[in-house]
Each structure stands twice: as structure tokens, then as C-alpha cells.
Structure 1
Amino acid sequence: MGVSSGKSVYARHGNGPYRRNDPRTAPPVLRTRCRIRLRACLIFLLLLASPAAADETFRIASFNVGLDREGPGLLYRDILRGEDTQIAAIIDVITAVSPDILVLQKFDFDHDFLALKAFAAQLKQDGPDYPHFFATLPNSGMFTGLDMDGDGYLGDPSDAQGFGVFTGSGGLAILSRFPIAQADVKDFSNFLWRDLPGAIPPHTDAGVFPSDAAFAIQRLSTTSHLDVPVLLPDGGRLLLWTMYATPPVFDGTEDRNGRRNHDETLFWLKYANGELPWQPDDFPFVLLGGLNLDPVDGAGRSDALLRLVSDPRVQDVQPTSNAGRLVSEQQGGVNNTHRGDPALDTADWPDQPGRPGNMRVDYVLPSADLNVINSGVHWPSDGSADAASTHRLVWVDIAF
């Protein structure tokens, strides 16, 4: 039994199954509703018959390429010549992994992006095409006119805002298959070290190191701290939080570099907490780059790094390689004293006593709301990546 709509297009209860057929044409409204229902049924059947739409997967990578030359323009020259074996090996590595978004560390900056454009053109010949890029002037090589390292001399690479032999030395660069929202990039590179909440600046018995005047202008970033929005095909955004930190060594008892390395990582925790003058946008992010610190091995202050990789807002999926473990065993030396899993290593450094050995110092840390389906450290067992860099490319696959 049902409730009548009161409209003539519906049969009444008295119109039983044995009444004669009505030869009249159905009213237009009924014909329209029938067509709509038929189309809906067909769409439903097609959906049942076809496989579910697969998530689109993007590969995001970080690679310290070590393309910091001894003077401006030299990297551009070497790329154009096409004879540099290191550049060729780097291109082979990138081509083998073929990331959709790639952040490079230690890539010399020039204001016209000549080196970066030439490098992308070389890649395109036999490898991935990156029509979009971003780079900005780094702190490395930005001279200050002051004695920033306390050695009593002026004008050496350690007296720049970040270690570098010329302006633009060893910067960050981003190559992407997807557009970059250039106008929305946040560049924190001029943020002063003294303004970071919870900072641990270097001191001696005489006071702040190396001097009040030097520390008053000392920027936190050795190279850059950047928040770069990438525009995804579905209309969404993915934020790249990236940096290259100072190695926590090559200093004195004041531990200037060790403290700075710690605070460069601490910056991201403060940024995520909303404790800085800038507020992070409400989009998924990937924190990636050269943090230049192993969580358990080597020199350095690991507190901020351990807090970062265990923070519930990020995922440390711990990319690995089989070759990293094999190489560590074969090389031995100081590697035998390490506590960390050598499969996580991303740098192949000298293994003699007093040297660092192989370590995990390069990271790709997606935000917790991203669906990570795979990850790895590109470390071919045939040693083909050795000619490219002492660092290995680290990648993560994310499904959107």
C-alpha cells in the first residue's frame, strides 16, 4: 500500500493488475522522469562495470648536487660546455628517479637563472621536463663586512651570512612539472637568528660570539628557509618547506655551527606552531632538504631534529636503500661505530677515524595528512651515483 500523490500520472489502488491497457500516450512529465531514471540506471551500471578511478601519484625528491663552483658564472659555463662528468652523472640520477617535484641544494644562483635554465634544458633532452622553476638569492656568500666567525680576519667565506665564496654560492633551486605560485612564496631568509623563540646562540666567557655587532645582523638561515606553494592538477596546493642548514662542525668551542644547525631545524617547529611573524597556510606540506644532521650518529645537537621527525604533524617514512647498508659494511671504518640503520644513510663521506662516515642527513618529511605510498634513497649498487655527489637523492611518492 502507498500514499497517492493526487496526480493523474500515478495509478490508484483500484487500478489493479487485470484492468485493460490504456492506449493513451503517457503525459510529458512521466516520459521525462522515465528518461532521467533510465539515464541514472545506465550511469550506475557503467560505474559498476568500470574500475574505480586510481589516485594520482606524485614523486617529490630532494638532492644535494654539490654544484657550488669557485666563482660566479662557472656553473653556467660548465653546463653549456656539456663536458662535465659530475653534471652528466647528476642528470643520470635525476632521469633514473624522474621526480615530479625536485628540490636541489648546493646549486649556484644567478639573477637571470641562466644556470638553472640551462640545467633544465639539459635534463629535458634525455630525461624529465621541468617547465617550472624557482630560485632566490641565498644567504650563502652574502658578505657582511664583519668578522662573523671570530678569527680576526675579514672577507673570507665564513664572514658571509652563510658560508660561500661569492654572492649566490650554493643556493637552493626547485624544478617542477607543476606551476609554482611565485607570488605566494614565503622567503624567511632574512629572519635574524636572535629573533627565533628558544634560540641557543653561541656564547663565550666574554659574551655572545663573535661580537654583539656581528650577532645583531646574523641571519638564521645558512642558505634559505622557504615556503613554496606548488599548484597541483586538481586545483589544490602543496607547500614545500625547504632549507639547507649549516653542517654542525667546522667551528670552535663556542659551537657556533652546531647551535645554528639546531636552530635552523627548530625554525620549522616554531613556524608550524604559529610562533613566528608568519602563519603557515592551511595546505598539505612536505618539509624537505638538507638538514645536515643524523638523528643518532655524528656531531651536532639532535634535540630539534628528533622533535621534528617525531612530531605528529609530519611523517618520517624513513626512505631506505639496500646499497646504503652494503656500502657501509664494505667500507667499514667509522661506519662500524654508528648506531643508526645504514639503509637510511643519504651521504657517503670518508670513513677514516675522525671523519663522519656515512649518515642520514637529507630528508623528505610529508605532512601527516598526505598519503605516502612509497619512498626510497637512490643509491645504485653499481656505484654509478658516486660521480654525481657525496649525497644521494631521497624521494617519496604521494597519492592525491
Structure 2
Amino acid sequence: MKRAVLAVAAVAAALVAPAADAAQPVRFATFNASLNRAAEGELVADLSTPDDPQARKVAEVVQRARPDVLLLNEFDYVEGGAAVDAFRANYLAHGQGGADSIDYPYAYTAPVNTGVQTGMDLDKDGTVGGPGDAYGFGVFPGQYGMVVLSKYPIGEARTFQRFRWVDMPGAQLPDDPATPQPGDWYSPEQLAALRLSSKSHWDLPIEVGGRTVHFLTSHPTPPAFDGPEKRNALRNHDEIRFWADYVSPGRGRYIYDDAGVSGGLAPGARFMIAGDQNSDPVDGDSNGARQILSAPRVIDPLPGSAGAVEASLAQGGANADQRGNPYFDTGDFNDKAPGNLRVDYVLPSAPLIPLRAGVFWPASNDELARLNDASDHHLVWADLLN
């Protein structure tokens, strides 16, 4: 049974307590902000005025947490960055709910695979077209996209939007349960085109204090909404594995980026893996997150919150039968199966030094609990010495 072990939570908090004489840290964060909309153009329209209630709450969460470098998942991509510019100008640049405004002079966004049609029947529903036949599930190109906001300069991005799933050695390709052949859910023609990343994988060099930290960002597909072939669960596993291979010396040789350059991250390079991985290391439908938690030089700063413990106890249901400590949950899925989970991560590498970490999930007796419904995910942050 999943238990609210407050003593464990206290120990975890102590492990990430700041040193008294620490230098000025840099705060990295990830937040699945649910700023996705049902139709193309809706997000720009919503953000073009300062009056969207959800965007105001999302902005206040950011202003309260005050990260220096932030990944926003589920932020619809718009060519030219109009949505990003509108969010900065109309929401972040104005204090929300009594919080101070916050400025991010640097931003990065790029096309993603969601909603980009393949012209093939990937979901085998007998028709070609629709969100299930896109490279990544989406109603229109760019839905559920990503954006990075930074107070520090962002160097030249390395993107992996078009890396093919079949080009990963030992890829966990799904089987059609109606046939005896392994890995044959997709036809050879489909495998020749199908991309690994359901959105994209980005390596963004962030220049902090004269040193580069590679911000490795992604948002793997949920390991659900499939059938006995488990195509989404297997893809989630391999999307997470991509970063584990990328940062492990010798294991990333097969990787190529959208510019055709091969190879993984340079040995010894500083990095931070961030994003909604849609994977809990203990509970849920995918435990693929273990791959990045155990990757070389990765440090788990153990972010958590009292609000998550309270929510798990109050909601009960599927939460009661989980094995993981609710202190570390980041996704609030109420009592629906599989319950609240730890799915959002900020994982620095040695020699970066994590000083403290947390999940922005205020308990019900906190005035800021009014922000808990900004998204079904909560912002996760870690303070680092570079």
C-alpha cells in the first residue's frame, strides 16, 4: 500500500537542504502547463489578451517558483514564436495574483511531431488521417509542443525530431498479436518513416557563468491509449531510453540529429534531463524512467511536496494501492487509475551540485493552493551550483 511516510519525506528534504555558504544557485524547472488547445490558433488567441484564467494561473506558478531556466511541456507550437511572445508579454511580464513579474530574455521553440501526418494508417482503424496517424498524436501540427524560457543565453540547438524509431538498436517495436512475427505491428513501409519522438528531443546548450549546461528536454508519449500491442507503452520506454543512451559514453553512437550529425553527448559534459516523461519509477503503466535515473552521472535531487502527500491521502482510490512514496508525486490524476504519479523530472549530472529541489504543490492550508488546478501536473525545480 502506498503510505504517506512523513519521516521519509523529512529525510528527503534534508538531503537537498542548501549549504549555508553556497554560491548563487541556478534554478532549473520543468512544468507541463497544459497550455494546449483543441484547435490550431486557439492558444495564440487566448494569449493575445491578458485575460485567460488558466494562463494567468500558469504564469503565477512560474512567478512564484521563479526558475532561471524553464521547460514548458504542452505549449502548442506556433511558427514564428507568436504564442511564446504573447505569453511572455501578456502574462509573465505582469505580476499575477500578487506575485512579481518575471522576465525571460531568451526563448527556444521548434516544430514537433504531434499532428504532422504520415499519410499511413498507423493506428489501424481502417482510415488514413486523424491524430492517431500523425508522427505524434495530435489534431494539428504543433499541438502539445514545447518551449524553453531562460534568463541565460541559449546556444545552438541540437534537435532529434526526425530520428527514426527503427534506427535505435534493440528498439522495442510493438508486435501485432494476431500474427506470429515479432515486431510487426507496423509495416516495413511504416517503420521506414516512423519517428521515435512523439514531440521532439532537444539538446539546448545553456551558457551559465562561463560554463555550458546541456538542457535535455522531451515529452514522451503516455504509455496508454493503445491495445495489447502496447505501441505507446513501448514507445514511451524507448523515448526515455534515448536520453539514457545519449548521455552514456559509447552508447549514443547510433544517434543522429536533424542536421545529420551523429553521436551522443561529449563525455564529461554537464547536463540536465528535464520534462514530463509520463513514467513513474515504481507505479503506473511504464517504469521506463528508471533508465534515466540510473544513467551515468545522473543525480536525483528528490523533489517533493507536502501537497502531494495530502492529495494522495484525500483522494484515496488507486493511490492507496501504490508502492511509491506520494511525497515525490508530480502528476495529480485524482483517484483514477493508475493514481497520482511521479512523471516530471529535473535530473542534473555530476559535477553539477544540487542544493535543494521541490515540487510546487501547495497543501490545502496554503493560500497558494488556489493554483493547484492550473494543470494536472505540478512544476518541478532544482537549484544547482554549476
> Under a length normalisation based on structure 1, what TM-score does the superposition of the two structures give?
0.83
Give the CA deviation at 1:54: 5.4
Matched residue of 1:116: which SS?
A: helix
Question: Which secondary structure does the structure 1 equivalent of 2:242 belong to?
Answer: helix
Partner residue, 2:129: 155
C-alpha change, 1:351 and 1:213, in structure 2 (3 Å) is same
Q: Which runs of 4+ in 1 moved over 3 A?
A: none
Q: Where in structure 1 are there 5+ consecutive unaligned residues?
A: 1-51
CA distance in 1, matches of 2:291, 2:233: 16
Deviation track 1:150-202 (CA, whole Å, cap 9, x = no partner) reads: 22122111111001110111111000001111xx2110110000001221101
Secondary structure class of the residue paired with 2:64: helix
- The Cα offsets for residues 355-394 of structure 1, whole Å up to 9 and x where unpaired, read as 2211100001000211100000000113323331000000
In the TM superposition, residue 53 of structure 1 has moved relative to its aligned partner by: 8.6
SS in 2 for 1:330: helix
User: 1:76: which partner in 2?
Assistant: 44
Match of 2:104 in 1: 130
List aligned pairs for 1:30-179, cutoff 5 A.
55-121=23-89, 122-126=91-95, 127-179=101-153
Shift of 1:325: 0.4
CA distance in 1, matches of 2:289, 2:381: 19
Q: How many residues align?
A: 342
Give the drift of 1:88: 0.9
Match of 2:167 in 1: 195
Larger radius of gyration: 1
What's the counterpart of residue 227 of structure 1? Answer: 203
Structure-2 separation of matches of 1:377 and 1:167: 31
TM-score norm. by structure 2 comes to 0.86
CA distance in 2, matches of 1:308, 1:94: 25
Matched with 1:237 is 212
Q: In structure 1, which of residues 285, 292, 297 is the aligned counterpart of residue 283 of structure 2?
A: 297
Deviation at 1:82, TM superposition (A): 2.4
Give yes or no for contact 2:27–2:67 (8 Å, CA) kept in 1: yes
C-alpha deviation, 1:216, in angstroms: 1.7
Q: How far apart, CA to CA, are the structure 2 residues paired with 1:55 and 1:395? A: 18
Q: Check if 1:275 corresponds to 2:253.
A: yes
**Which among 339, 344, 347 is matched to residue 365 of structure 1?**
347
**Letter of the aligned partner of 1:295 in structure 2?**
P
The answer to whether the Cα contact below 8 Å between 1:320 and 1:345 also exists between their aligned partners in 2 is yes
Contact 1:123/1:129 (8 A) holds in 2: yes
Q: Is the 8 A contact 1:147 1:210 kept in 2?
A: no
> Structure 1 residues 197, 342: closer, same or farther in 2, change over 3 A?
same
The separation in 1 between residues aligned to 2:380 and 2:159, in whole angstroms, is: 23
Q: Distance in 1 between matches of 2:246 and 2:296?
A: 15
1:337 aligns with 2:321: yes
Aligned to 1:18: none
Residue identity over aligned pairs, in percent, reads: 41
2:384 corresponds to: 398
Distance 1:320 1:54, change over 3 A: closer
Query: Residue 245 of structure 2 contacts residue 264 of structure 2 at CA under 8 Å; is this kept in 1?
Result: no
Are 1:310 and 2:294 matched, yes or no?
yes
2:247–2:296 CA contact under 8 A, matched in 1: no
* Residue 257 of structure 2: aligned partner: none
| Structure 2 residue corresponding to 1:385, chosen from 371, 381, 384 | 371
Unaligned runs of 5+ in 2: 1-19, 96-100, 255-261
SS at match of 2:63: helix
Q: Amino acid of the residue matched to residue 262 of structure 1? A: H
Distance 1:147 1:238 in 2: 40
- AA paired with 2:377? H
The amino acid that maps onto 1:325 is V
Q: Could you tell me how far apart the structure 2 residues matched to 1:53 and 1:318 are?
A: 21
Rounded to whole Å, the distance in 2 between the matches of 1:81 and 1:244 is: 28
What do residues 302-322 of structure 1 show as CA deviations (whole Å, max 9, x unaligned)?
Answer: 2x4223212341001220001
8 A Cα contact 2:73 2:146, kept in partner: yes
Higher relative contact order (CA 8 A, sep 6+): 2
Whether the 8 Å contact between 1:385 and 1:392 is mirrored in structure 2 is no
Q: CA deviation at 1:118?
A: 0.8
Deviation at 1:136, TM superposition (A): 0.4
CA distance in 1, matches of 2:320, 2:253: 41
Contact kept, 8 Å, 2:31 with 2:377, in 1: the verdict is yes
The equivalent of 1:38 in structure 2 is none
Whose helix proportion is higher, 1 or 2?
1
Partner SS for 1:217: coil
Query: Which SS does the other structure have where 1:238 is aligned?
Result: strand
Give the drift of 1:112.
Answer: 1.1
Matched residue type, 2:351: D
Match of 1:253 in 2: 228
Check the 8 A contact 2:247/2:295 in 1, yes or no. Answer: no
SS at the partner of 1:384?
Answer: helix
